[in-house]
Amino acid sequence: MNLQFQAASQDETGLQSVDSLIDSLSAIHPKGYDLSLDRIRRVLAALGHPEQAIPPVLHVAGTNGKGSTIAFSRAILEAAGKTVHVHTSPHLVRWHERFRLGKPGGGVLAQDRELASAIARVAEANGGEPITIFEILTGAMFLLFSENPADYALVEVGLGGRFDATNVIRSPLAAIIANISIDHQQQLGDTVEEIAFEKAGIIKPGRPAVIGPQQDSVREVFEAVAAERGAHAVVAGRDFTFFEQGGRLVYQDDYGLLDLPLPRLRGRHQHANAATAIAAIRYAGHESGLSLPDEAFEMAMTSVTWPGRMERLKDGKLTALAPSAAEIWIDGGHNPSAGMVVASELAELEERAPMPAVLVTGMLTTKDPEGFFAAFAGLVERAITVPLSDSEADFDPETLAGHARAAGIAAETASSLAEALEIVENHHDGLPVRVLMAGSLYLAGQALRENGTPPE
């Protein structure tokens, strides 16, 4: 089956658009995860092993914060004049967001035609054998990164680590592990220690394993795996420290002290993500000969961007429907640990500029809604639950509202984000109100798309 030449949505060369191509493949292959390395290894071998021809890699896993850690890493390297490929998942609005190609002066998202070509080539190499969409996209990432020159590549794990399709990378510059908490129990285990063991699968012999702040039992899992594999464990609180002082972020490790601006990304949890990225680049750089000026780290703190994480929604079609005095924020946090972090940020906003807060939320059925809502009890005056337009595995709004009520939050339902904002308007009659749209990356993407302000 030659997927390059399907009839639907072709350009002048006969190549399908990315959306059309993925729709075609989704009719054949599942969109979810089937944790194994056998299929991706078979396909990459058929493609001539592009994973062995990509730039030096920082490989990043974690439950919460891995995307932000990648954003900080990219900002640091680009501030030093380096070109950087970036792979993240999932996307918010368009598949292309997962593939940023390094260019002088800053990276660009993969263009439709080159991404569609890479996906089609992976599908052809697969020869119709069982495979998941994520594995096909991972193969496309390796093709794109091997065929476009860059100084470095940042690769985010999709799920877990040990059997994630990205874990065919043999010897990264460093393995980086951000915060670990309970999520994806069905695939990864019921305890944080079991989940940590799966994430530790990206630790490679002889390479630094940079461990962000963790609870003790999780840190011990990573240290044990690193020791077993002969990896150099670089541990937050022991090998690098960070703290806020006088409106600055102070970072220190074996190579000295950095006095930096506070990160542009909101939240104290972003201090930990920034420090973990700094540690990875400094320790990996020391072992590989990469030396960056202090100015690169300073510039990165004020230039870093990462859409959909405590981001105030820009003016657009959706914000125009909100009360004139409303603030609208979005965040993709979707598990209890992320809920606590986002609620903390909401509380800080309330302290700086008091106004009523409303939580607009949609959530996947694989998540823990009551654990997520518990963080917002007493902080928001109500929750408005909505369906997720891009998922068939979301909670029915009335069911989700029931979970909010069980957590002590008054709740009502809406059929869309637009209707949720109408409800806010009716309750607040033009008075100041802070609206937080959170509970799923699907919801954050939905808000960006409907607002007409997708990530660039």
What residue segments make up the domains of the chain, in order of their start? 3-303, 311-451
**What pLDDT was estimated at residue 185?**
57
Q: Which residue has the higher pLDDT, 5 or 182?
A: 182
The per-residue pLDDT for 238 is: 97
Interior/surface letters 119-134, b for 16+ CB within 10 angstroms, e for the rest: bbbbbbbbeeeebbbb
pLDDT digits (tens, 9 = 90+) for 261-284: 999 998 889 999 999 999 999 999
Confidence of residue 161 (pLDDT cuts 50, 70, 90): confident
Q: Determine the pLDDT at residue 186.
A: 59
d(CA 406, CA 383) in angstroms, rounded, equals: 12
**Per-residue confidence (pLDDT) for residue 7, from 0 to 100:** 33
Contact by Cβ (8 Å): 325, 356: no
Return all residues near 247 (Cβ < 8 A) that are at least 6 apart: 262
Q: How confident is the model at residue 407 (pLDDT cuts 50, 70, 90)?
A: very high
Task: Copy the structure tokens of residue 431.
Answer: 């008075």
pLDDT band at 4 (very low <50, low <70, confident <90, very high): very low
pLDDT at 9: 43
pLDDT value at position 249? 98
pTM here is: 0.92
CA distance 215 to 335: 17
State pLDDT tens for residues 133-145.
999 999 999 999 9
* For residue 35, pLDDT beyond 60: yes
- Tell me, what's the pLDDT at 33? 65
CATH of span 3-303: 3.40.1190.10
Q: What is the mean pLDDT of residues 295-312?
A: 96
Q: Between 31 and 355, name the one with better pLDDT.
A: 355
Domain 311-451 of CATH type 3.30.70.3450: no
